[in-house]
């Protein structure tokens, strides 16, 4: 299968053009073609949430998309969130609360949290747990992740109220 | 001047220091095996058996071989130079299985690799796989362990005497006679279904062969890089200095990445043969059907006790469904034999008989999984203890208090031969009981229209096991030693190298805390190197709750040896006695004097500046020491689960979870909490969700994460963890292992809580996971009688 399609997209505010096989998964494209290996692949059937990215402002599972579906899209991956020298507030909160262990599921969680902070009220821990339940973490037991998100929600609400 | 009254040397051990590995992992800069890309890499796909037990009549590779982009197609006949994988053991009554790297003539489980295809991409390799036909003759097979145990059962391995590949007996006193004469007894037949690790990172291997140097680098998502190097070296006839196994960032293991796999041997071999990098990354289907599995046991057990609830004797018959092959290096004894040896638990049970048999079945091999053996042992024992309490109308806490080993009894040799020493058995229970009293459960029960139950589980585990005992029964391999090499280089920087292999345990932080505290420098200035065989002479990795005890012990011994050198050199520079020299926060100094230099200045004096120190005083600033705890340490804990069951839907909801645990000195409380939470979550999976199912032809029917359910944030309750530091063990640092405990106690506590919640219905909770469907079936069966 050597037939390829040309796509143009914007990833973390950088423009890319590429020729891709129509069958190539978006997750493989980001990782293997663009070298953005921060997006991890955990199940390739949409169950674990590890490969979550933001596509035109909405979180999606990149293993359930084809690269060609990213044509003309704005993509945000974990690499766009913050850097080791200047981490995003969400990344800081995860570190403060020890909300990651092996770190493999973490990029998916960070992207999910980025979205739910903007879209959901998250009034209590039960709502936070529901909102995070599309992402699987096998290390932490989720308690520290919930605490990190609670901190972020409190900060957000304080900002909104002031 | 350093004022001794004002300067307090900072303590790092015991502090919730933020992890040093976090910035890279949080920003997508981690480097997992699948992330590593090398030019000219060939990608592997495997064709795996779709039959549980069958003879291979023929394989047609013709079409696949000619597909554009295919580099090579390989079957068993291409690997005749590689010996079969054989896990040997010193155990009596053990039969070794032969596991070829690709199935030869016969397949023995669905998922066993049969054909390997190398191509320019994984996509093309899978295209080629679709063009290959394998012709099988299905063979008669016994799928369940009970069927495989039968005398006339078809044998899975022709050359073995039977499907029973191991048997071991434990006997202290005469349990059958004591039980027959005892005033009270309770019995049950318990089962724990098969599970699997489900680390979020699938297994991945990348071999890079350097033709010029005749040297192989294997990037490997493993937690046992040293064992992988040693055994692949043996199988491929390579010296240790020709093969380097690097476990870069590893995305969890929980045991699933802690055995030697055919795929990693093939990747290594093909890289040498094809003289190019070879990469294989498992997909989730392969993880769920061809990575090591866990548990799969049935236990029939009886506990006898007197009118006061004092235990008299315990008897157990254990059958382990070990799968198709005995896994390397642990052997199939690892899991079921530990069920038998840990069954008496933290209790004084003077008389014990246990027989364990491991049976070959046409399923993936069982291997290590967090907790190993003890989740089942604790489930069985704790259910029996609750049944006994009910029979005598004693409180669940009181019966445990009466039987738990007391502080004055240590060291206590259990009736299965395990020696328990200095651990807060009673204290953990007491702390848990207090925490429960604050939950105000009676009030909650009154107000709720749901069935509320509370369940206790106590356990003890041997952690940080030394060379006296093998981590796996009968395994002829020393897992009881760990070596640290710590050096100060010409710039004054400290590097500490270990043979352990962190895969989420935070060892880059906790070991830096220890080295920093011992040497007197900040943890963030210590570089920890681990998971790379180039930097350790011998090291088996991170598993069996060993790295804090063994790695931490080696870190302390080595740091202290290095500190002596630091002080000697500084004493010469300062012209004082070495005993007057102190270190702290990166400084080397003498109190109440102007003598103060930093580590950079010290290194300069030793390595670069040829004037300051006479030649004979220029010590090499490096040390290497090993630590072996010989026996090991006893960790203990009490778990309490509170469940709420909806009488209409029978949905079981965990409301609270309490852990009171004694892991000795905490290195980093945040990390310890994280390990406990994660362990408990896996225990919740064991108790309520996770079950690998096979149909009666041996076909796996839970091959996606929509069928094999693991806990999400929505199923997990908030957790309360109480840390006790009772008398510290005598090993350096006073650390005990605690990575597995959460998974050991939680299944039993939840099973007891469910049993408590449905006690008015008189149901037996004897099989895990317990689900709404199973509860419904139990209720339906009860109403028929």
pLDDT, tens digit, 9 for 90 and up, residues B332-374? 999 999 999 999 999 999 999 999 999 999 999 999 999 999 9
At B549 the three-state DSSP class reads helix
> Which of A94, A103, A120 to mutate against chain B (most B CBs within 10 Å)?
A103
- Tell me which chain A residues have a C-beta less than 8 angstroms from the C-beta of B719: 141, 143
Name the nearest CA neighbour of B545 among B678, B658, B456.
B678
- Tell me which chain B residues have a C-beta less than 8 angstroms from the C-beta of A42: 200-202, 284
Which strand ranges, in their side-by-side order, compose the sheet holding B113-119?
B70-74, B113-119, B42-48, B278-281, B204-210, B215-220, B243-246
Locate tokens 């920087």: which residue? Answer: B493
Note whether B39 contacts A: Cβ–Cβ < 8 A.
Answer: no
CB contact under 8 A, B127 and A95: no
pLDDT (tens digit, 9 = 90+) per residue, B757-768?
Answer: 999 999 999 999
Task: Provide the mean pLDDT of chain B.
Answer: 96
| Confidence tier at B221 by pLDDT (50, 70, 90) | very high
Whether residue A74 is found in the same domain as residue A95: no
- Tell me which chain B residues have a C-beta less than 8 angstroms from the C-beta of A2: 68
- Tell me which chain B residues have a C-beta less than 8 angstroms from the C-beta of A1: 123, 127
pLDDT (tens digit, 9 = 90+) per residue, B274-329?
Answer: 999 999 999 999 999 999 999 999 999 999 999 999 999 999 999 999 999 999 99
Number of domains into which chain A is organized:
2
Whether residue A93 is found in the same domain as residue A156: yes
Mean pLDDT to the nearest integer, B504-523: 97
Name the nearest CA neighbour of B569 among B614, B534, B611.
B614
Cis peptide before B329 (omega within 30 of 0): yes
At B72 the three-state DSSP class reads strand
The number of C-beta contacts closer than 8 angstroms across A and B is: 193
Residue of chain B nearest A93, judged by CA positions: B26
* pLDDT attached to residue B617: 87
Whether residue A67 is found in the same domain as residue A106: no
> Which of A141, A146, A148, A150 to mutate against chain B (most B CBs within 10 Å)?
A141
Whether residue A119 is found in the same domain as residue A154: yes
* pLDDT attached to residue B783: 86
Whether residue A68 is found in the same domain as residue A10: yes
Whether residue A123 is found in the same domain as residue A96: yes
Task: Give all domains of chain B, ordered by start, each with its CATH number.
Answer: 22-29+481-627 (3.30.365.10), 33-139+202-250+257-290 (3.90.1170.50), 375-385+393-463+632-784 (3.30.365.10)
Mean pLDDT to the nearest integer, B149-163: 96
Mean pLDDT to the nearest integer, A4-30: 98
Share of chain B above pLDDT 70, in %: 99
- Of the three residues A46, A80, A114, the one that is the final residue of a domain is A80
Note whether B681 contacts A: Cβ–Cβ < 8 A.
Answer: yes
Of A47, A94, A98, which has the smallest distance from its Cβ to B670's Cβ? Answer: A98
A1, pLDDT greater than 60: no
* Residue A34, CA distances (Å) to B176, B211, B558 in order: 68, 29, 44
CB contact under 8 A, A1 and B674: no
Whether residue A74 is found in the same domain as residue A113: no
- Structural domain that includes position A154: 89-161
B5, pLDDT greater than 80: no
- Tell me which chain A residues have a C-beta less than 8 angstroms from the C-beta of B682: 138
- Tell me which chain B residues have a C-beta less than 8 angstroms from the C-beta of A37: 28, 31-32, 34-35
Name the nearest CA neighbour of B400 among B408, B388, B418.
B388
| Confidence tier at B476 by pLDDT (50, 70, 90) | confident
| Confidence tier at B9 by pLDDT (50, 70, 90) | confident
pLDDT (tens digit, 9 = 90+) per residue, B540-574?
Answer: 999 999 999 999 999 999 999 999 999 999 999 99
Q: What is the torsion angle, in degrees rounded to the nearest 10, for the CA atoms of residue B444, residue B448, residue B453 and residue B454?
A: -10
- Of the three residues A63, A80, A97, the one that is the final residue of a domain is A80
B87, pLDDT greater than 70: yes
Q: Quick one: tokens of B493?
A: 């920087």
Mean pLDDT to the nearest integer, B462-491: 92
A136, pLDDT greater than 60: yes
Whether residue A104 is found in the same domain as residue A152: yes
Whether residue A29 is found in the same domain as residue A51: yes
pLDDT (tens digit, 9 = 90+) per residue, B690-711?
Answer: 999 999 999 999 999 999 999 9
> Which of B24, B27, B124 to mutate against chain A (most A CBs within 10 Å)?
B27
CB contact under 8 A, B283 and A84: no
Whether residue A103 is found in the same domain as residue A70: no
Q: In B, residues 718-737, which contact A (CB 8 Å cutoff)?
A: 718-719
Whether residue A76 is found in the same domain as residue A93: no
CB contact under 8 A, A137 and B506: no
- Of the three residues A22, A50, A80, the one that is the final residue of a domain is A80
Alpha-carbon torsion B282, B285, B287, B290, what sign?
A: negative
Whether residue A117 is found in the same domain as residue A66: no
* pLDDT attached to residue B3: 67
The CATH code of the domain that includes A96 is 1.10.150.120
Note whether B714 contacts A: Cβ–Cβ < 8 A.
Answer: yes
B611, pLDDT greater than 90: no
The CATH code of the domain that includes A59 is 3.10.20.30
B2, pLDDT greater than 70: no
- Tell me which chain B residues have a C-beta less than 8 angstroms from the C-beta of A38: 27-30
Distance from CA of B16 to the nearest CA of A (A): 9
| Confidence tier at A74 by pLDDT (50, 70, 90) | very high
Longest C-alpha distance within chain A, in Å? 57
* Complex prediction ipTM: 0.98
Beta strand A52-55 with A58-61 is: antiparallel
Phi, psi (rounded to 5 degrees) for B391: -60, -40
Q: Which residue has the higher pLDDT, B477 or A25?
A: A25
């Amino acid at each position: 299968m050597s037939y390829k399609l040309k796509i143009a997209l914007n990833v973390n505010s950088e423009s890319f053009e590429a020729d891709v096989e129509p069958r190539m998964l978006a997750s493989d494209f980001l990782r293997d073609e663009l070298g953005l290996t921060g997006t991890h692949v955990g199940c390739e059937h949409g169950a674990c949430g590890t490969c979550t990215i933001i596509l035109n402002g909405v979180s999606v599972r990149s293993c359930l998309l084809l690269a060609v579906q990213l044509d003309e899209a704005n993509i945000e991956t974990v690499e766009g969130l913050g850097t080791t020298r200047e981490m995003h507030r969400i990344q800081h909160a995860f570190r403060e609360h020890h909300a990651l262990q092996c770190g493999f599921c973490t990029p998916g969680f960070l992207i999910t949290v980025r979205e739910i902070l903007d879209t959901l009220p998250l009034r209590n821990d039960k709502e936070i747990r529901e909102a995070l339940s599309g992402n699987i973490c096998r290390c932490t037991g989720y308690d520290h992740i919930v605490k990190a998100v609670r901190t972020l929600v409190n900060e957000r609400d304080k900002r909104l109220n002031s | 001047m350093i004022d001794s009254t004002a300067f307090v040397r900072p303590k790092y051990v015991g502090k919730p220091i933020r992890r040093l590995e976090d910035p890279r992992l949080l920003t997508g800069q981690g480097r997992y095996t699948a992330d590593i890309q090398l030019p000219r890499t060939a990608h592997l796909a495997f064709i795996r058996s779709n039959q549980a037990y069958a003879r291979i009549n023929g394989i047609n590779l013709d079409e696949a071989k000619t597909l554009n982009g295919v580099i090579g197609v390989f079957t068993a006949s291409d690997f005749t130079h590689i010996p079969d994988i054989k896990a040997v053991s010193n155990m009596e009554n053990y039969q070794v299985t032969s596991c070829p790297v690709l199935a030869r003539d016969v397949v023995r489980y669905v998922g066993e690799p049969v054909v390997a295809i190398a191509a320019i991409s994984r996509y093309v390799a899978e295209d080629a796989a679709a063009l290959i036909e394998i012709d099988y003759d299905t063979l008669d097979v016994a799928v369940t362990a009970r069927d495989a145990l039968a005398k006339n059962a078809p044998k899975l391995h022709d050359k073995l005497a039977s499907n029973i590949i191991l048997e071991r007996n434990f006997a202290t006193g005469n349990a059958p006679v004591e039980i027959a004469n005892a005033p009270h007894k309770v019995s049950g037949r318990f089962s724990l279904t098969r599970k699997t690790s489900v680390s979020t990172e699938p297994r991945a291997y990348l071999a890079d062969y350097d033709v010029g140097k005749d040297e192989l680098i294997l990037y490997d998502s493993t937690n046992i890089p040293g064992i992988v190097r040693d055994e692949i070296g043996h199988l491929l006839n390579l010296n240790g200095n020709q093969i380097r196994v690097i476990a870069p960032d590893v995305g969890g293991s929980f045991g699933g990445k802690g055995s030697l796999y055919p795929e990693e041997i093939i990747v290594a071999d093909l890289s040498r043969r094809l003289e190019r990098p070879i990469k294989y990354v498992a997909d989730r289907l392969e993880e769920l059907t061809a990575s090591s599995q866990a548990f799969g046991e049935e236990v029939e057990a009886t506990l006898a006790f007197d009118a006061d609830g004092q235990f008299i004797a315990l008897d157990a018959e254990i059958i382990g469904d070990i799968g198709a092959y005995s896994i390397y290096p642990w052997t199939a004894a690892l899991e079921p034999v530990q069920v038998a040896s840990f069954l008496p638990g933290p209790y004084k049970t003077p008389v014990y008989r246990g027989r364990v048999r491991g049976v070959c079945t046409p399923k993936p091999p069982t291997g290590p999984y967090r907790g190993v053996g003890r989740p089942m042992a604790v489930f069985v024992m704790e259910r029996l203890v609750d049944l006994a309490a009910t029979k005598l109308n004693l409180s669940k806490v009181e019966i445990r208090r009466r039987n738990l080993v007391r502080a004055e009894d240590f060291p206590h040799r259990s009736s299965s031969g395990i020696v328990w020493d200095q651990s807060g058995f009673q204290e953990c229970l007491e702390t848990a009981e207090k925490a429960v009293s604050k939950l105000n459960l009676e009030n909650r029960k009154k107000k709720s229209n749901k069935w509320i139950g509370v369940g206790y589980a106590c356990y003890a585990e041997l952690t940080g096991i030394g060379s006296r005992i093998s981590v796996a029964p009968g395994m002829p391999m020393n897992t009881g030693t760990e070596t640290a090499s710590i050096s100060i280089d010409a710039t004054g920087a400290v590097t500490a190298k270990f043979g352990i292999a962190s895969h989420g345990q935070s060892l880059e932080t906790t070991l830096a805390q220890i080295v920093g505290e011992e040497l007197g420098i900040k943890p963030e200035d210590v570089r920890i190197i681990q998971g790379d065989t180039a930097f350790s002479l011998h090291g088996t990795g991170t598993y069996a709750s060993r790295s804090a005890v063994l790695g931490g012990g080696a870190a302390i011994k080595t740091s202290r040896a290095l500190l002596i050198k630091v002080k000697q050199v500084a004493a010469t520079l300062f012209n004082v006695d070495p005993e007057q020299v102190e270190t702290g926060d990166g400084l080397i100094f003498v109190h109440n004097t102007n003598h103060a230099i930093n580590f950079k200045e010290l290194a300069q004096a030793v390595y670069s500046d040829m004037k300051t120190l006479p030649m004979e005083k220029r010590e090499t600033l490096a040390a290497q020491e090993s630590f072996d705890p010989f026996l090991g340490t006893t960790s203990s804990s009490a778990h309490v689960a509170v469940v709420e069951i909806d009488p209409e839907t029978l949905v079981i909801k965990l409301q609270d979870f309490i852990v009171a645990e004694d892991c000795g000195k905490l290195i980093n409380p945040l990390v310890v909490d994280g390990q406990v939470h994660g362990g408990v979550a896996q225990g919740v999976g064991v108790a309520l969700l996770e079950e690998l199912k096979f149909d009666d032809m041996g076909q796996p029917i839970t091959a996606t994460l929509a069928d094999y359910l693991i806990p999400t944030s929505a199923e997990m309750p908030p957790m309360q963890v109480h840390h006790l530091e009772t008398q510290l063990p005598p090993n350096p640092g006073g650390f005990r292992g605690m990575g597995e405990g959460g998974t050991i106690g939680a299944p039993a506590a939840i099973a007891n809580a469910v049993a408590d919640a449905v006690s008015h219905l008189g149901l037996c909770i004897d099989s895990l996971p317990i689900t709404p469907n199973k509860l419904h079936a139990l209720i339906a069966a009860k109403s028929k009688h």
